[in-house]
Structure 1
Amino acid sequence: MVPLAERLRPETLDDLVGQAHLTGPGSILRKALQQGKVPSMILWGPPGVGKTTIANIIAHTLDVPFYTLSAISSGVKEVRDVIEAARHQQGAVLFIDEIHRFNKSQQDAFLGAVEKGIITLIGATTENPSFEVNAALLSRSQVYVLKPLGQEELLQLLQQALLKDPWLQSKRVELKETAALFNISGGDARKLLNLLELVVDTIQDAPVVITDQVVMDIAQQRVAIYDKQGEQHYDIISAFIKSVRGSDPNGAVYWLARMIAGGEDVKFIARRLVILASEDIGNANPNALLMATNCFQAVNLIGYPEARIILSQCVTYLASSPKSNAAYMAINNAQSLVSQTGDLPVPLHIRNAPTRLMKQQGYGKDYKYSHDYDNHFAPQEYLPDEIAGTKLYDPAQNAREDELRKYLKLLWKEKYNY
């Protein structure tokens, strides 16, 4: 039997649940479809929020040939075959799922066809296209951000499924509780409908009464398999990051192996390590960021299977490093302060003074050039007057940041008396 999520896939924008900012009345995509002028685009968002569905609706509405490729299983040859077929047709839509998995040469293969209008490209990605899509291709495409589905939208999906699907109707499903369905699916419509189908199929009684406990019991019986197309993607990466953050190299390298076995993109793993090196280790071990950055460069150069060794070295090093989120908290605190206080004026003494008029107005007056003073330090205020003395960076309790704390206290005395 065709999976429930596929049986219920919407065929028009009116049937689509969620993404109203892109597909609702008066939205940019709806207007483009009404005018018959749909640009090439990149649909960026988490799994199960409608990227593939939107591509299908566009092709169906425009009534043009629709080709679909997966960057996991397709290469340059398959792309060129589609382009050659599209040359003999009046417009065609090429949908590429997980376009971020195509390397530069593969993306270059369809750049010319996009420029000449032979194909309308629709790429779907869970990764930031600024990092993963060629600049030339990105400049010729619109980037649309899709949002996770909220609880109201997920409930709407469930209710539609119970009303429209004959198989579910035959089971006389009674939806008593939904919290477990929502929590496990995590805003992923495909995962939600697959879970609903699994629960209903598991229960032999009629009517089928769905409660949170029933859903949890059935879900926990399943072996968690890493799905490189999205089902377990965020759960596994969450376990991986939390293992490194929790200083458990055994757990970290296990979840790394799970991702590798599932075919996870090597750059996806390495990029998370670069982020983690600053967010969770920071100044407790500044070498962590160097290690993670070098790891990212090395695995891009080497690729699988040898990249697993480089990743393992970096992962075990980061997991074994002392931890600090002080830098992460500092920028959070600073951004929160900026949000609360707005655009405060820069103090006159640290303003730039490139013109005579600016100097006459006091720009740069009384500024103390730090290198002219003992220890290359001169006490002066660098924050706007309204927030002078505010503490944003609080060094964590570890050997390296203890040294930073002592140094700041030596320079600033009471101002940085942590």
Structure 2
Amino acid sequence: MNQPLAERIRPKSLQDYISQQHLVGPNGILTNHIKQGIIPSLILWGPPGIGKTTLANIIAKESERPFFTLSAISSGVKDVREVIEKAKKSNGLFTQKNPILFIDEIHRFSKSQQDSLLGAVERGWITLIGATTENPSFEVIPALLSRCQVYILNSFDKNDLIMLLNRALEKDEIISKKTIVLKETEALLRVSGGDARKLLNTFDLLVGAEDEITITNELVLKKIQKSPARYDKTGEQHYDIISAFIKSIRGSDPNAAVYWLARMLEGGEDVKFIARRLLILASEDIGNANPTALILANNTFQAVSVIGNPESRIILSQCTVYLANSAKSNSSYTAINDAQQLVKASGDLSVPLHLRNAPTKLMSDLNYGKDYLYAHNHPENFIEQEFMPEEIKNTKLYEPSNNARETQFRNTLKKRWKDKYDY
């Protein structure tokens, strides 16, 4: 049998599908859609090897709909129109439910290719299911995205991956006949990078023609020759190298940062993907220590979107070096994290009356807005008053970092609020 292990034990039903309980569990969103017989057009967003294609197949099977597939890598507008015509002809032949068109790696479709889907989705000729490893907010055109629900598939955790291995041991018609002991799995899981398909196919390679084998970390590292020379834009190195790139900038090492940038560029990484990460870093890791960083990063994103390769490398290098050399602060990032945790813990606290809007007479009669002090009517445009709900007043969420600009912030806050927030 020539089928890979990942294909041989591919789940055939929601009950067999591992992980993603928020989508396919007993009360999952997709489970409820299938029960109700209503499948919206949707985008499945998650890392490689997480089961997006499998899930699309299961949705089609359990909702009893015709299923058509396209790969964004090899399909053009002509292919899209042809498959839509086939779907239209099948619509109503065997079922009153409209067909599903699954497009793998939909983020690789150009604007014109995505535009060609709009009419079919709007008229209900097809239900579109797109799979992507990239943020659909950036890679799917707004008109199409607005007509789709976006569902996020989470990365497999260790327990999920162990379950996959055990399923192979128990249910695969070839492997279940062997005597296999999973003594150690750390190296096997690490080599897979969280990619279920890679995990299973690596496992299949390990056991090979062996009838009896004990899986250890040493065995895995000895048998699996893992070459880091190539850059896989959809695999483990994609995430490892962007991580090294970001951490080098955060660590203020422009030399390492430019090296990792070159690795991505030489591997054919999407320049807009790199620019987006620089934009995030400029706020998360530099923030108010140097607000110009965010402006430069945003201009970099706009520039590479217009210019493309190969000249974008120069702009990306300039931005990378600037951000690496900039003062750093994550105080805004930690402030919003802490604020969101506070909201989750404290619930929907009432807005103090003096801060409420009073557009009607009734609201004015209820003292909405009463006793609010208009800051601009006071010296230095400041007057001390309470802006937090009563239950959490005096709570400090923003802690200025130790850099020149935020030291000024700290001094100003201390002068204005004195001991209220203990700056």
Bigger drift between 327-336 and 220-229 goes to: 220-229
The reply to whether residue 114 of structure 1 matches residue 115 of structure 2 is no
Q: Distance in 2 between matches of 1:68 and 1:136?
A: 21
Unaligned runs of 5+ in 1: none
2-structure distance, mates of 1:45, 1:417: 42
Deviates more, 1:268-277 or 1:11-20: 11-20
Check if 1:292 corresponds to 2:293. Answer: no
**Superposition RMSD in Å:** 3.0
Equivalent position of 2:375 in the other structure:
370
- The separation in 2 between residues aligned to 1:114 and 1:364, in whole angstroms, is 47
Question: Could you say which residue in structure 1 is the equivalent of 2:325?
Answer: 320
2:336 aligned partner: 331
Read off the aligned partner of 1:185 and give its amino acid letter. Answer: S
Q: Deviations over 1:368-396 (max 9, x none)?
A: 22222222221222222222222211111
Q: Which residue of 153, 156, 160 maps to 1:153?
A: 160
Aligned to 1:5: 6
1:79 matched to 2:80:
yes
Cα distance in 1 for residues equivalent to 2:358 and 2:159: 55
Asked if 1:385 corresponds to 2:353, the answer is no
CA distance change for structure 1 residues 5 and 383 in 2, over 3 Å: closer, same or farther? same
Counterpart of 1:189 in structure 2 is: 196
- Residues 369 and 32 (structure 1 numbering): CA distance in 2 closer, same or farther, change over 3 Å? closer
Cα deviation, residue 311, structure 1:
1.9
User: Secondary structure of the equivalent of 2:203?
Assistant: helix
How has the CA–CA distance of structure 1 residues 376 and 176 changed in structure 2, closer, same or farther, with 3 Å as cutoff? same
After superposition, the C-alpha distances for 1:297-318 in whole angstroms (9 at most, x for unaligned) are 2222222332222222222221
Name the structure 2 match of 1:48. 49
Counterparts of 1:372 and 1:37, CA distance in 2: 57
Q: What's the TM-score, normalizing by structure 2? A: 0.86
Further displaced range: 30-39 or 300-309: 30-39
Distance 1:357 1:230, change over 3 A: same
User: Matched residues in 1 for 2:28 and 2:400: separation?
Assistant: 47
Corresponding residue number in structure 2 for 1:264: 269
Deviations 1:353-380 (A, max 9, x none): 3334444443333332222222222122
> Structure 1, residues 332-358: CA drift from partner, whole Å, max 9, x if none?
121222222222232333332333444
SS at match of 1:389: coil
C-alpha spacing 1:197/1:314, structure 2 compared with 1 (3 Å): farther
- Which residue is equivalent to 2:94? none
For residues 265 and 308 of structure 2, the distance between their equivalents in structure 1, rounded to whole angstroms, comes to 12
Please give the alpha-carbon distance, in whole angstroms, between the structure 1 residues aligned to 2:218 and 2:245: 27
Is 1:103 paired with 2:104? no
2:101 is paired with a residue whose SS is strand
Change (3 A) 1:224 1:389: farther
CA shift, 1:275, in A, is 1.3
Change in 2 beyond 3 A, CA 1:276/1:399: same
Q: Which amino acid aligns with 1:245?
A: R
CA distance in 2, matches of 1:238, 1:274: 14
Cα distance in 2 for residues equivalent to 1:116 and 1:227: 38
The range that moved more, 313-322 or 96-105, is: 96-105
1:101–1:265 Cα contact (<8 Å) kept: no
Inter-partner Cα distance in structure 1 for 2:34 and 2:413 = 60
Contact 1:154–1:189 (Cα < 8 Å) also in 2: yes
| Contact 1:226-1:233 at 8 Å conserved across structures | yes
Matches of 1:266 and 1:96 in 2, distance apart?
23
- CA-to-aligned-CA distance 1:278-323 (integer Å, 9 cap, x gap): 1111011101111111112222222233222222222222122111
Q: TM-score, normalised by structure 1?
A: 0.87
Mapped pair 1:395 → 2:396: no
Q: Aligned pair in 2 of structure 1 residues 415, 154: CA closer, same or farther (>3 Å)?
A: same
In the alignment, is the contact (CA less than 8 A) between 1:39 and 1:142 conserved in 2? Answer: yes
What is the CA deviation profile of residues 181-234 of structure 1, one whole-angstrom value per residue up to 9, with x for unaligned ones? 334535431132133234445xx9763221234435656743263322334332
Identity between Structure 1 and Structure 2 (%)? 63
Instruction: Indicate how the Cα distance of structure 1 residues 77 and 257 shifts in structure 2: closer, same or farther if over 3 A, else same.
Output: farther
**Alpha-carbon deviation of 1:153?**
2.6
Quote the offset at 1:120 in angstroms: 3.3
Query: CA, structure 1 residues 416+147, in 2 after alignment: closer, same or farther (shift >3 Å)?
Result: closer
**Counterparts of 1:217 and 1:280 in 2: how far apart (Å)?**
39
Distance 1:374 1:28 in 2: 54
Q: What is the CA–CA distance in structure 1 between the aligned matches of 2:372 and 2:40, rounded to whole Å?
A: 53
Q: Distance in 1 between matches of 2:213 and 2:179?
A: 6
Counterpart of 1:302 (choices 294, 297, 307) is 307
Structure 1 residues 173 and 41, CA gap change in structure 2 (3 angstroms): same
Do the aligned partners of 2:45 and 2:132 also contact (CA within 8 Å) in 1? yes
Amino acid at match of 1:157: L
Alpha-carbon distance between aligned partners in 2 of 1:385 and 1:302, rounded to the nearest angstrom:
52
Query: Is 1:94 matched with 2:94?
Result: no
What CA distance in whole angstroms lies between the structure 1 residues aligned with 2:111 and 2:322? 31
